[in-house]
Amino acid sequence: MAMAALMIGAFVGMLSETSLNIALPQLMDAFHVGSGTIQWLVTGYMLIIGIILPLSSLLTKWFTTRQLVISGLCAFLFGAIISALAPSFEILLLGRMIQGVGTGIVLPLMFTVAMQIFPPNRLGAAMGVCAMVIMLAPAIGPTVTGLILAKLSWNWIFWMFVPFLVVAIIFAFTSLKNTTEITKPKIDYLSIIESAIGFASLVASVSLASDLGLTSPLVIGLFILAIVVLVLYVHRQLMLENPILNLKIFSIPQFRTGALLVMIDFGIILSAMYLLPQFIQNGLSIAVALTGIIMLPGGIINALTSAIAGRIYDSQGAKKPTILGFIIALIGALMLALATPTAPVWYIILAQIILMIGCPLAMSPAQTYALNAIQGPESADGSTIMNTLQQIVGAIATAVATILLAAGQNTIAGSSAVKFTNGTHYGFYFTLVLIVIGLLLSLTIKEDQHS
């Protein structure tokens, strides 16, 4: 019951992050804006999350868990209502960015609280359920949005968040207790400024690259600014006695390996789930509502596998399920990379199901493996670091997939369906590269006491 408010909040946050992709064409028509402008609904949301997430560990030392969760859920509710009622693109973007504040607060807290309230022998199962919440949203987002857009206006995408958030706020008031120690450490404002500029510039540069191109002066300038500021930020965190983010935990091999595997896995999921609904619509010429239904079986399998994967960690450890997960994901991604405009629907559903078995099978054990290496106050830092890097990698993976999608379409002659299919092949080659890197890295997992 204590976790219910956090899980619902994190689910709605991730659903909001991934469900809007399928609605962007309708929003372009509704507000009479181009693809470069409309992309800010995704970029702006991730931008705010990228600024708020690195501050999560600091916030837990200044405010109670209950205060933070209720504030985050209320911010998201307020943002969703603004977005649903938005008369202009600017107001819609403002609503999206307020939602980003809520997600940035609630998302890392879910893992931090789980680390505090579950004993080690049940942590794998608990993390499995948390991973299921995170993984289910990107998988069912297109389905839900497709069904809404088939019958209702785009406003209802935002209205659907409201009942979930109201229930989560009720759970937060009735069941949530404080799990972290309030120490109110001295705040290093320069670190906060560096964090905001560095992470925001990085997310903005990779997001804009998909629209403006890699050689755009703005993209290059933002990327250089991000690297310089983040190097200064990392150096400052390592020097401070009470850093905003305790980056020293990267010196723990178990945490480092697990965190990298989680980042790669998240990149695999977001790149594939960005490409697949577009391929179904533009490559296979299937309507938006049916696209959502086609993607539903994979979403259900994803959720079930996530829940089971946590329990597998409790009995088998991390190495076996992680390696097996990446091997299975490799088969699914390869099937999608070989799909043609005449591919039968059952083939696409099967390929997505295989991918959605592999990714969560690797994700949940890797995450628990990383977080098990750290204890006490460091668990909040570990959770914050992993969630921050997930969002950054997610933004980068989506941007790279977009760039490759456009590049692939321009290298072949033929119908629009043939050209778009070639573009998605280029994008799925990137997904395959990530899977191979993840598989090789998973071989370095040290067998632990479970094995």
Per-domain boundaries in the chain: 4-442
Sole residue written with tokens 């997930």: 390
Q: What is the pLDDT of residues 279-335, one digit of tens each?
A: 887 888 887 667 778 878 887 888 788 878 877 877 778 888 999 999 999 999 999
Give Cα separations from 330 to 272, 283, 310, 326, 366 (angstroms): 12, 22, 21, 6, 17
pLDDT at 36: 63
Alpha carbon distance 72, 344 (integer Å)? 43
pLDDT exceeds 80 at position 375? no
Query: Is the distance from CB of 138 to CB of 270 less than 8 angstroms?
Result: yes
Phi, psi (degrees; rounded to nearest 5) at 412:
-145, 145
* DSSP-derived 3-state class of residue 414: coil
State both tokens at 423.
């573009």
State both tokens at 177.
């207790």
Q: What is the pLDDT of residues 218-253, one digit of tens each?
A: 889 999 999 999 999 989 888 887 777 788 888 888
Sole residue written with tokens 């997939």: 401
pLDDT at 450: 44
CATH of range 4-442; options 3.40.50.300, 1.20.1250.20, 3.30.300.30, 3.60.9.10 = 1.20.1250.20
pLDDT exceeds 60 at position 373? yes
Helices 345-371, 296-316: axis angle to 10 degrees equals: 30
What is the amino acid identity at position 128?
Answer: G
How does the average pLDDT of the chain come out, rounded? 82
Per-residue pLDDT, averaged over 192-213, amounts to 80
Task: Give the best-scoring range by mean pLDDT among 145-154, 272-281, 419-428.
Answer: 419-428
Buried-exposed string 413-426: b where 16+ CB fall within 10 A, e elsewhere = eeeebebbbbbbbb
Q: What is the pLDDT of residues 341-362, one digit of tens each?
A: 888 989 999 999 999 999 989 9
Phi, psi (degrees; rounded to nearest 5) at 48:
-65, -40
Contacts of 433 (CB under 8 A, 6+ apart): none
Query: Is the distance from CB of 124 to CB of 313 less than 8 angstroms?
Result: yes
Query: Is the distance from CB of 112 to CB of 180 less than 8 angstroms?
Result: yes
> Helices in 152-160 by DSSP H: which ranges?
155-159
pLDDT exceeds 90 at position 147? no
Closest C-alpha among 122, 94, 57, 88 to residue 386 = 57
Confidence of residue 437 (pLDDT cuts 50, 70, 90): very high
Alpha carbon distance 386, 113 (integer Å)? 15
Number of H helices and E strands in the chain, helices first, is 19, 0
Phi, psi (degrees; rounded to nearest 5) at 32:
55, 50
Q: Which DSSP category does 240 fall into?
A: -
Sole residue written with tokens 């690195």: 54
Alpha carbon distance 171, 66 (integer Å)? 10
Q: What is the pLDDT of residues 37-85, one digit of tens each?
A: 777 787 778 778 878 877 777 787 788 888 888 898 999 999 999 999 9
pLDDT at 451: 39
pTM score = 0.78
For 132-244, list the strands marked E by DSSP. Answer: none
Terminal Cα distance for the chain, rounded: 31
